[in-house]
């Protein structure tokens, strides 16, 4: 299925390889194959991921570009370990993509563990920021402007001098030494 957002509106994932790798990451991290979760390609998660990455400070944007490049070429770079996957990350089957990410997450190298954590974090934030995933997570959407929220009153007049009280009138603080 095609991604819901047009690729010409993307600002960070402008390269076709980076887009393909990002979609493959979303696909690998979101367990949607049983139909319980919406496919990331149909939710606009790629556009959300693009917006998140584009808003990073310049040094972090550069690191994320490098990380997408590295994960795309990691199957090639892993040949020395005898895995033999001669395809870019997005062309691996789902099981091999998940296996590769699990190996990064469990690596003895802190850099690979950090990279796997960063990739999973941004992928999950992008996916679950989309309204299509809200119902399944039990989230009914933002409350701001939609639901009246009662605010507790301030225990005294704000114009009164001195610090605010640390306890409400008519209550006593428990003395831990008593």
The pLDDT assigned to 83 comes to 55
List the chain domain ranges: 7-137
Cα pseudo-dihedral 66, 71, 73, 78, rounded to 10: 130
The pLDDT assigned to 82 comes to 54
Tokens of 161: 């001098």
Tokens of 17: 């390889």
For 36-48, give one letter per residue: b (16+ CB within 10 A) or e. ebbbbbebbbbbb
The pLDDT assigned to 178 comes to 46
Sequence-separated contacts (24+) of 52-55 with Cβ below 8 Å? 52/122, 52/125, 52/126, 53/12, 53/13, 53/122, 54/11, 54/12
Tokens of 115: 């990279």
CA distances from 111 to 22, 28, 61, 74, 118 (A): 19, 20, 17, 14, 10
The pLDDT assigned to 135 comes to 86
The pLDDT assigned to 161 comes to 67
The pLDDT assigned to 140 comes to 86
Gap between the Cα atoms of 88 and 71, Å rounded = 8
User: What is the residue-level pLDDT of the chain in tens, covering all 178 positions?
Assistant: 444 455 679 999 999 999 999 999 999 999 888 888 899 999 999 999 999 999 999 999 999 999 999 999 887 766 545 555 678 899 988 998 999 999 899 999 999 999 999 999 999 999 999 999 998 888 888 877 777 877 777 666 666 666 665 665 555 555 555 4
The pLDDT assigned to 118 comes to 95
Gap between the Cα atoms of 133 and 7, Å rounded = 21
The pLDDT assigned to 136 comes to 82
Tokens of 12: 């960070």
């Amino acid at each position: 299925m095609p991604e819901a957002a047009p690729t010409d509106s993307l600002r960070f994932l402008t390269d076709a390889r980076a887009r393909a790798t990002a979609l493959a990451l979303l696909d690998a991290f979101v367990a949607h194959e049983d139909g319980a979760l919406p496919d990331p390609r149909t939710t606009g998660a790629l556009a959300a991921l693009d917006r998140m990455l584009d808003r990073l400070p310049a040094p972090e944007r550069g690191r994320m570009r490098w990380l997408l490049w590295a994960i795309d070429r990691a199957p090639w770079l892993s040949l020395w370990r005898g895995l033999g996957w001669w395809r870019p990350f997005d062309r691996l089957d789902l099981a091999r993509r998940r296996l590769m990410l699990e190996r990064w997450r469990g690596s003895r190298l802190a850099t690979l563990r950090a990279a796997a954590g960063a990739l999973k974090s941004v992928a999950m934030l992008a996916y679950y920021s989309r309204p299509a995933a809200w119902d399944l997570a039990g989230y009914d959407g933002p409350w701001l402007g939609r639901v009246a929220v009662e605010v507790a009153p301030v225990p005294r007049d704000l114009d009164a001098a001195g610090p605010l009280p640390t306890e409400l009138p008519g209550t006593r603080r428990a003395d831990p030494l008593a």
